[in-house]
Chains A and B, each alone.
Chain A
Amino acid sequence: MPYDPGPDVIQVVRAPKGGPVRGTYRAFGETLRGLRTTLGRWVEGPHTMQYPEEKTPVYPRFRGRHKLHRFEDTGLEKCVGCSLCAAACPADCIRVVAAENTPENRVSAGERYAAVYEINLSRCIFCGYCEVACPFDAITMGHDYEMSDYNRSDLIFTKEMLLAEPLERTPLRSAGE
């Protein structure tokens, strides 16, 4: 029985054969085409982001370093110390110690407030589950991504650090960019 591969045969495009003259011409022609291509890249100009001076803009939904929020009118913290974020955290990097609000010392709008609120950013995986779990939108993922430090202990962010406005705002990507 003769070998018949049937309709599975695919036409293969092979490089043109050719003698030494044609080969030489092809080599030089293709070389010139390559040179034109690279020069075209020069004309396009660099696409480099000069990083420390010029920061990469982020998308609005970018999940960067966390932020804790206050009410804008009263200045009270939104966090009520419920620890739902700590429960939701898969990396187990959030530590919340709640305390009762008193009339003399009113910190949050609810019954309790977070006396200690620490996020260990060296463990955080930036999944954003804490943001989803929070019933009061007290914690959100911010836009900062420059969090490198020299010590592990410096990466444990306390409540004050998370509440504070970042010194430098990360640029936001404009529409269509």
Chain B
Amino acid sequence: MTGVLATVGYYESWWIQLLKALVIFIVIFQLVPVVLLAERKVLGRFQHRYGPNRVGPYGLLQPMADIGKLLFKEQFRPNGAIGWMFALAPAISMFTAVAVLAIVPFSNTVDIFGTQVGLYGIDPSIGILYAFAFGGIAFYGLVLGGWASGGKYAFLGSMRAAAQLISYEISQGLALVGVIMMAGTLSLTEIVGYQEDHLWMIVPQFVGFIVFFVAGFAETNRPPFDLPEADAELVQGYSTEYGGGRFAAFYAAEYLNIIVVSAITTTVFLGGWNIPFWNPPTWIDPIVVIVKTLALVFVFFWVRATLPRLRYDQLMSLGWKVFLPLATVNALVTAILVVVT
């Protein structure tokens, strides 16, 4: 296939694609309640508490109770809201979060009962750009949601979301340029394949890793970059006017985004399904990816428990004055070294 469409690394028949999409979506979506609960438990531990432990054994049913509560609440809409946009915004958030899942590779092409199956949703040649594209669209969910609510707090939240997007997205992209130059490919499976033979990218591209991961905090609106939400000053920002199932969609999308960003970071910088000095059987590969992802998710919680929210201008100066030069220099030095060696 040529033309405007990107080429795809490996073709499968339609039913395998459908099955893969279902399995990946279901498995990763099941992680959302787990991560939801894990965050509250982990935050509790960081604050000398246990976290939720009353609903079900060890509080395991807490996310179910939360989601159930939200879904049975009234779906209300403020008088000044723009109806269809108001309803569309959470859907965009959810859709983009799920869509990025498609390119996360859980293993290479494997042989399942005589059929060649790539353990990833899709392996397009544009690879990581696909993630950036959807990451950019994801902010439309926030901006539209805040703007269509017709409330001042929500509007301020969406303005902040837009400002935040432009201050981190460039350095996030530049941070990956080094990796792409070293691996010589955009495809995520090939980047992991490169790390199989060489060091994990986190070692030669440590600066890139830091910039990308910190920008990931901004992309997922997590503390210390949760300016669009900013519960203390903006009363939840863009989602102020949302309640019930739509709020649940925003909420689930946020956690799904955390998982996705962690999974992409795992793939690009932490060697995907590779384990150093050991060549495990293929069926372990997806588990390795998920374990590494959850380890990064833990870092998200850890940072949330540690750092206070940055001021608005501090995020700007961090994005433009620190991360952008860092990422540029990193890309430049990598480029020189790649050419020289």
A residues adjacent to B (C-beta < 8 A): 20, 24, 27, 31, 34-35, 37-39, 41-42, 44-48, 50
| Interchain Cβ contacts under 8 Å between A and B, 12 examples | A20-B322, A24-B322, A24-B326, A35-B302, A39-B46, A41-B45, A41-B46, A41-B48, A44-B48, A47-B48, A47-B49, A50-B50
Q: How far is the CB of B89 from chain A (nearest CB, A)?
A: 33
Q: How far is the CB of B330 from chain A (nearest CB, A)?
A: 13
Instruction: For the complex formed, measure the closest distance between the CB of B167 and the CB atoms of chain A, giving whole angstroms.
Output: 16
- Whether A38 and B305, one on each chain, are in contact in the complex, defined by CB atoms closer than 8 angstroms, is yes
Interfacial chain A residues near B326, Cβ < 8 Å: 24
Q: Would B44 and A46 count as touching, CB distance under 8 A?
A: yes
- The answer, yes or no, to whether B69 is at the interface (CB within 8 Å) is no
A42 B307 Cβ-Cβ under 8 A:
no
Which A residues touch B302, using CB under 8 A?
Answer: 35, 38-39
B residues near A37, Cβ cutoff 8 Å = 306
Query: Whole-angstrom distance between the alpha carbons of A27 and B307 in the complex?
Result: 11
Asked if A46 and B307 make an inter-chain contact with CB atoms under 8 angstroms apart, the answer reads: no
Smallest distance from the beta carbon of B240 to chain A beta carbons, Å? 29
Q: Shortest CB–CB separation between residue B222 and chain A, in angstroms?
A: 14
Known: A20-B321, A24-B322, A39-B302. A34 touches B307 (CB 8 A): yes
A26 smallest CB distance to B (angstroms):
12
CA distance A47 to B47 in the complex (A): 9
A24 closest partner in B (C-beta): B322
Q: Assuming A48-B49, A48-B50, is B44 touching A35 (CB within 8 A)?
A: no
Which residues of B approach A to under 8 Å, CB–CB?
Answer: 44-50, 302-303, 305-307, 321-322, 326
Query: A38, B46: Cβ atoms under 8 Å?
Result: yes
Cβ–Cβ < 8 Å partners of A31 in chain B: 306-307
Residues of B within 8 A of A34 (CB): 306-307
Give Cα distance in the complex from A93 to B41, angstroms: 45
State the CA gap A64–B302 with chains docked (Å): 41
Residues of A within 8 A of B46 (CB): 38-39, 41-42
CB B210 to nearest CB in A, in angstroms, measures 8
Cα A39 to Cα B99 with chains together (Å) = 34
Contacts of B307 in A (CB 8 A): 31, 34
Q: What chain B residues lie within 8 Å of A44 (beta carbons)?
A: 48
Complex contact B48–A35 (CB within 8 A): no
Report the Cα distance A66→B46, complex, angstroms: 40
In chain A, what residue has the closest Cβ to B314?
A27
Closest to B47 in A: A41
A40's closest neighbor in chain B, by CB?
B46
Tell whether, in the assembled complex, residue A46 and residue B321 are in contact, meaning their CB atoms are under 8 Å apart: no
Shortest beta-carbon distance from A23 to chain B in Å:
8
How far is B327's CA from A24's CA once the two chains are assembled, in angstroms? Answer: 14
Q: How far is the CA of A41 from the CA of B305 in the complex (A)?
A: 10
CB < 8 Å: which of A20, A24, A39, A46 contacts B50?
A46
Q: Is the CB of A38 within 8 A of B48?
A: no
Verify B321–A35 contact, CB threshold 8 A.
Answer: no
Q: Which residue of B lies closest to A28 (CB)?
A: B210
B324 CB to nearest chain A CB (Å)? 12
Q: Return chain A residues, CB-CB under 8 Å to B50.
A: 46, 48, 50
Distance in angstroms between the alpha carbons of A37 and B321 in the assembled complex? 28
Of all chain B residues, the one with the shortest Cβ separation from A42 is B45
Tell me the complex Cα distance, A174–B50, Å. Answer: 25
Query: B45–A35 contact, CB under 8 A?
Result: no
- Nearest CB of chain A from residue B57's CB, rounded to whole Å: 14
Q: From A47, which residue of chain B is reached at the shortest CB distance?
A: B48
CB distance from B175 to the nearest CB of A (A): 15
Contact A35 B49 (CB under 8 A): no
Using Cβ atoms and an 8 Å threshold, which residues of chain B touch A38? 46, 302, 305-306
Interface centre among A34, A38, A48 (most CB of B within 10 A): A38
